[in-house]
Amino acid sequence: MILSSIIDKTKGEHTVEPYRFKVLALHSVEPKEITKEISTPIESNSDDEVIDQVNLEPQINPVNEAPNSVESTFIEELLKKTDDLSGNIVKLQMQIENQENEFKIRLENEIIRAKEEGLREGLEQAKAQYETLLNENSKNYTSSIQKLDEETSKLESLLSSSQGEIAATAIDIAKEVVLKEIKDSSAQIASNIAKSLIDELSQATSIEIKVSPKDYEFLKSNFTQKSHIKITSDDAVLAGGVIVLSDIGNIDGSVMTRFNKIKKILSE
């Protein structure tokens, strides 16, 4: 009953309303009736009766004073109890407010703790996920490196085993290209080979260059200014090639001989 009067359900707040006292009128009517009854005979009696009336007055006053004293005492006690009740209500209200403040502080502390706990757990979870992802990437990277090394080894082995074949194939391709060029301009090729070989025999005093009959006229016209060089036609020499004879050594400058020599070097 006390809490229902303190806490306003509509407002949701603590309220203390002033206590309203009921008016207590103990013996408030009876003294007046007694006084009226006594005063009426006094006016109609003789002097003796007046004396009796005077003698009666001390008996009437205590009757009026007793109820007033009881009423005053009752009111004082009621006021005292009301003050005590009001004080208790105020104390109860302060206690409730203190409990609310304590609850609010505890709630705020719990919220802060929960946030910190959540943040810590989030960081730990993110760290664990990052480490897991890093380990997976590291494993994938290591596996890729191993596969790359294996493929590199296979490629090197393939190149080593097929290097000779590749070189021979390249020479054959070059041979086909050169033969085509010889077919179109064999005299020019023979002239270039002859000049290269003459440079190698720079110490020779007498040089004879044998060429194909197809290339003879062209080379003869190019080397007429050099008296120690002689150009001769030989059916054994293929077009585009030359054979150089000198006093310090002979050189076979035919195209096929040169290709075979290069092919032999690469195959070793």
Are 101 and 193 within one domain? no
Quick one: average pLDDT of 256-263?
76
Give me the half-sphere count of Cα atoms (radius 13 Å) on the Cβ side of residue 96.
Answer: 12
Query: Number of folded domains in the chain?
Result: 2
Quick one: average pLDDT of 76-89?
85
Q: Does a structural domain hold residue 239?
A: yes
β-bridge mates for residue 243, sequence order: 210, 252
pLDDT of residue 157: 83
pLDDT of residue 79: 84
Given 81, 103, 119, the domain boundary residue is: 119
Quick one: average pLDDT of 25-41?
43
Given 103, 119, 135, the domain boundary residue is: 119
Residue located via tokens 């070189």:
167
CB 6, CB 16: distance < 8 Å: yes
Q: Which residues fall within 8 angstroms of residue 212, CB to CB, at 6 or more apart?
A: 186, 190, 233, 234, 235, 237, 238, 239, 240, 241
Distance CA 80, CA 1 (A): 20
Quick one: average pLDDT of 56-70?
54
The answer to whether residue 151 scores a pLDDT higher than 80 is yes
Q: Which residues fall within 8 angstroms of residue 85, CB to CB, at 6 or more apart?
A: 19
Are 109 and 13 within one domain? yes
CATH number (domain holding residue 240): 3.30.2320.30
Q: Does a structural domain hold residue 259?
A: yes
Best-predicted range by mean pLDDT (26-35, 58-67, 180-189): 180-189
Q: Does a structural domain hold residue 36?
A: yes
CB 153, CB 248: distance < 8 Å: no
pLDDT of residue 268: 61
Q: Does a structural domain hold residue 156?
A: no
Q: Residue 253: pLDDT band by 50, 70, 90 thresholds? A: confident
pLDDT of residue 18: 54
pTM: predicted TM-score of the whole model, two decimal places: 0.38
Q: Does a structural domain hold residue 126?
A: no
Given 90, 119, 148, the domain boundary residue is: 119
Q: Does a structural domain hold residue 173?
A: no
Are 13 and 103 within one domain? yes
Quick one: average pLDDT of 188-193?
88
Q: Does a structural domain hold residue 177?
A: no
Quick one: average pLDDT of 3-27?
49
Q: Does a structural domain hold residue 175?
A: no
Q: Residue 266: pLDDT band by 50, 70, 90 thresholds? A: low
The pLDDT mean for the chain works out to 75
Q: HEC string of 201-234?
A: CCCCCCEEEEECCCCHHHHHHHCCCCCCEEEEEC
pLDDT tens digits along 91-124: 888 989 888 888 889 898 989 988 888 888 888 8
β-bridge mates for residue 7, sequence order: 14
Parent domain of 240: 185-267
